[in-house]
Structures are given as C-alpha cells and as structure tokens.
Amino acid sequence: MRLLQLAFVVALASGIAAILIYTAGVSKIYGTHQLSDEDLEALQSLQSGFQKCVSSNGLGLQALSGRDYCEVKLQFPSDTDPKWRDPKTGELEGLSFDFNLCEAVATWEQVRNSTTILTREFIDSLPNGWEEYAWRRINKGILLNRCENKTLCMEKLSLVLPETPPYFPRQFGRCAVIGNSGDLLKTRFGKEIDSYDAVVRENGAPIQNYTDYVGTKSTFRLLNRGSAKALDKVAELYDTGKEVLIVKTTIHDIMNKMIREVPILNPVYLMLGASFGSSAKGTGLKALEFALSICDTVDMYGFTVDPGYKEWTRYFSESRQGHTPLQGRAYYQMMECLGLIKIHSPLRADPNRVVKWVPSRSIVAAARIASEKLLRRVGAGSGHPLGSCFIIKKQVKGRHTGVSGLRKAAVEHKKYVKRTTMYPLEHNPGHGQLCTVPTS
C-alpha cells in the first residue's frame, strides 16, 4: 500500500513539474504580460464605443457585454425572420452571435501591415518551406507529397508565384469590395462603385447587363476553388488582361492548363491569408482581407442581409443557401464598428453616411497592444512595427522593387516598417509573422 501511495505521490509531483515546465516554456516564448491601467482603459473604451456604434448603425442590432472586456454578443431583433438552416442539424440560424473584440482588433491590425499574396520569397524563407508548405498549396496529393521533387513543385506554381509581393499596404486609397447579394438590385450603386480607386469582385459575378447596379470597374477578382477550376469562363467576363485574379486555392494542373491554353493573359496569384476564428468564413471575408491589406479605406456593397430578409439571394441567379447570412451580417457589423470597413446597402444608400461612434485610431492602437498582451501574441506590448516578426530573413538582393511610383501613404508605410515585408504565418501559436528585411 505504501508503495502505491509513494508511486501516486511521485506521479503527481511529476505531473505538476511537467505543467510548471510547460508554463515556464510558454512564458519564455511569449512573455508574461500584465495589463496596465492604460491597457484596461483602452479595452473598456473600445467596448463602450463599440456598443454605441452598433446601436447607432446596426439597423436594430445590439451589442451586449460578455464576461470580460473582449467578449461581446451581437443580438438581432426578436422579430428577425431567419431562413438559413444548418445542413447537418436542420436547425434554423440563431439570432445572437458571440465575438471576441480583442482577437478581431489584434488580427485585423496585423492584416493591414501584411502582404496577402503568396510569393516565392515567402516559401524560400520558411524552414523547409518547399517540403512542408508548398505541396499543400499545389493540392496534388501523393505524387507531389512534401515536394520531394522541388523542381516539379516550382513548375506547378510558376505561373501563379511572383518572386516578391506585387502589391503593398496602402498602395490604393479608396477601395470597394462587391459581394453578390440580390440586395444590389434594389439600389443603383453603379456610378458610385466606379468612383473608387480599386474595385474587388468575387468569383464569376457578372458585370454586363448589371452595370447600373454594380458598376463597370473591376481591378481584382477573388476566386474560390470552384471558380478557379473554371478560370476560362471567369476570364470571359472582362476585357482580356485587365483584371487581376486572386485565387484562394485550387488544383494547379487544371488551372495551369487553362492559363496556357485559353490563354489567360491576366495576372493570377494565390492568396496567403491570416487565420481567423470559426465565425469568419467565406470568399467575401477573404476579399475584404485582401482589400484591407492594400487599401487605406474599404467600403463593401452587396454583402449585407438587412433586417427582414427572406432568403439569401444573388443578383445574377437563383436563390441559394450560401454561408450563414445573419452570422456574416453580424461579423461585418463588427468590422464596421471597429473602423475597418463601411457598409452600403439599400437601407444605407447615402454615400455620405457617417458611421457614428467609430473608435479613433489612437484607441484602436492602444486596444491592439492590450489585446496582444491578453492573447499572448508574438511581440505583445512592444509597440514596435516589427514586434510580431516570428521569423526574420534577409531579402534577396535584386528581387525587391523600389518605391518609385507608389502613392505617398504607401511610401510612408514602407518607411515606418523599415522596408520590411510581412507575411502572416498560418496556424502560428502566437500569430507571428514571417518578415523579410533589407540586406543593407
């Protein structure tokens, strides 16, 4: 019996020691960050202003406080008529959704400093980047598993893999992201949309026959797997070589063949995106992410499902299920009330509409630092523009283009980050970034 008791005590002590060692290890990597009074005040100000913003601009939505400064619940009016059913359970979509403001602020502020285009520089800089990462983006299975034949992997990616980022943070001023909602047919936004510096569209959404509602300008088009596998049909929608195609993921044998044989003269790139929570999904959100990484301001059209909607529709085809409409609508409202985007819809048709109670940049900056501490992000609390760099590599001399011709805001941003290029590291435990820095 004593032996059993002794064994139990030893096992318990070992377990406690293991936990302490693990905790010490984590603390060593991310540091232990105590929130100051200023941090708490920033988070409190953010949540207070956020609740007022949702109340003023949310068309009936209300933001309720959660258990702490980070958690909020966005609640639709009780008379909202949900139509979307979970395909697995058959249950109707709920009327309330939980979000974490700290995660949103920390992640989206990082997006605004990052590149969202996959480059050869990124893969080359990753430890075992070709073996551990590249083959997953090629999506070819066993024949290219782990890219043991690097030459073959590079060939598969060559048509869509630039050496360095073709676009930079703040490269464009005002940008519009156009969704596919049937709400677009209720308001003639066409001329308004064409006034933006850059316009981002989704998948195979047509322009012809709908120009009064969706405009004619199209700078970028973000494609999901299905649309990328029909690249030749998407390419028929616009003037050859005019629109840049950004692909989330696809099977490259199919896409490469189309690019060569159609031929598709437009630039085609792969998206390298940040990691969001389960509440943030879909091509629309990725289009917003891409726009926020290259634009000063981002407005969105054709996404929202305002109160009283009957079903999820597209302006150019029959009704469909799509993603959870109310959850997406709530998430976009959160983005608007964090100052990330401005929503336009039939019920928000005034182009000069002012979004009330949006937090100032100083409050967002302070809340970001506090949020990073709470979430134990890489570089939390440093306030340094390169604090989130988890992997740092020297830029290959001669690869990077200069800043001549870029607008002033983009040039100033390059100076701010000391000409460093930042890439999000997917699934990194501390949401760190891969950073390439100038050789000199």
Which H or E element spans position 11?
A: helix 2-30
Residues in Cβ contact with 200 at an 8 Å cutoff, skipping those fewer than 6 apart: 175, 176, 177, 178, 219, 220, 221, 222, 287, 290, 291
Q: CB of 288 within 8 A of CB of 335?
A: yes
383/380: higher pLDDT: 380
| 402 lies in some domain | no
* 293 and 112 Cβ atoms separated by less than 8 Å: yes
Domain membership flag for residue 126: no
Question: Phi, psi (5° rounding) for residue 72?
Answer: -140, 150
Average pLDDT, the chain: 85
Q: Decide which of 125 and 9 is more confident.
A: 125
414 in a domain, yes or no?
Answer: no
The string of DSSP codes covering 261-287 is HTT--S-EEEB------TT--HHHHHH
- Let me know: does 117 contact 347? Beta carbons within 8 Å: no
Summarised one tens digit per residue, pLDDT across range 315-367 is 887 666 656 778 888 999 999 999 999 999 998 999 899 999 999 999 999 99
Q: Does 314 have pLDDT greater than 90?
A: no
Q: Please report whether residue 78 resides in a domain.
A: no
Can you tell me which residue has the tokens 């100083």? 362
Q: Distance between CA atoms of 290 and 300, rounded to whole angstroms? A: 13
Within-domain flag for 405: no
Number of domains into which the chain is organized? 2
Query: Looking at 50-64, 233-247, 421-435, which range is the least confident one?
Result: 233-247
Token readout for 427 is 């699934």
Task: Give 267: exposed, middle or buried? Use CB within 10 Å, 0-12, 13-18, 19+.
Answer: middle
Average pLDDT over residues 414-436: 92
From 303, 320, 348, give the residue that closes a domain.
Answer: 348
> Is pLDDT of 162 > 80?
yes
pLDDT at 298 over 80: yes
The four Cα atoms 423, 336, 351, 179 give a dihedral, to 10 degrees, of 60
Give 312's pLDDT tier (boundaries 50, 70, 90): low
H/E element, 101: helix 101-111
The residue from 348, 366, 383 where one domain ends is 348
Please give the pLDDT value at position 142. 61
Q: Residue 84 pLDDT > 80, yes or no?
A: no
List all residues 6 or more positions away from 278 whose beta carbon is below 8 Å from its beta carbon: none
Residue 85 to residue 25: CA distance in whole angstroms: 44
Q: Output phi, psi for 304, to 5 deg.
A: -70, 150
pLDDT in tens, 266-294: 999 999 987 775 555 678 899 999 999 99
The C-alpha atoms of residue 311 and residue 320 are separated, in whole angstroms, by 8
pLDDT of residue 17: 41
What digits encode the pLDDT tens for the residues 99-113? Answer: 999 999 999 999 999
Instruction: Give the CATH number, domain containing residue 203.
Output: 3.90.1480.20
- C-alpha–C-alpha distance, residues 193 and 177, integer Å: 9
CA distance 386 to 337: 27
- State the DSSP H helix or E strand holding residue 150, giving kind and residue range, or none if neither: helix 150-157
User: Of 307, 332, 348, which marks where a domain is finished?
Assistant: 348
What count of Cα atoms within 13 Å lies in the side-chain half-sphere of residue 355?
22
More confident residue, 34 or 372: 372
SS3 252: helix
Residue position matching structure tokens 């590079």: 154
Which pair of tokens denotes residue 175? Answer: 């940008």
| Boundaries of domain holding 17 | 1-32
* Tokens at 56, concatenated: 């003023």
Distance CA 370, CA 376 (A): 10
Question: Does residue 303 sit within a domain?
Answer: yes
* pLDDT the model gives residue 13: 47
pLDDT at position 277 is: 59
pLDDT tier for residue 128 given thresholds of 50, 70 and 90: confident
Residue 62: inside a domain: no
The CA-to-CA distance between both ends of the chain, in Å, stands at 69
pLDDT for the residue 79: 87
Q: What is the pLDDT of residue 29?
A: 35
Does a structural domain hold residue 190? yes
| Band of residue 80 on the pLDDT scale cut at 50, 70, 90 | confident
pLDDT at residue 149, rounded to an integer: 76
In which residue are the tokens 């100051």 written? 36
Read off the pLDDT band of 3 (50, 70, 90).
very low
Contact indicator for 234, 204 with CB cutoff of 8 Å: yes
- Which DSSP letter does residue 437 get? E
Are residues 105 and 359 in contact, defined by beta-carbon separation less than 8 angstroms?
no
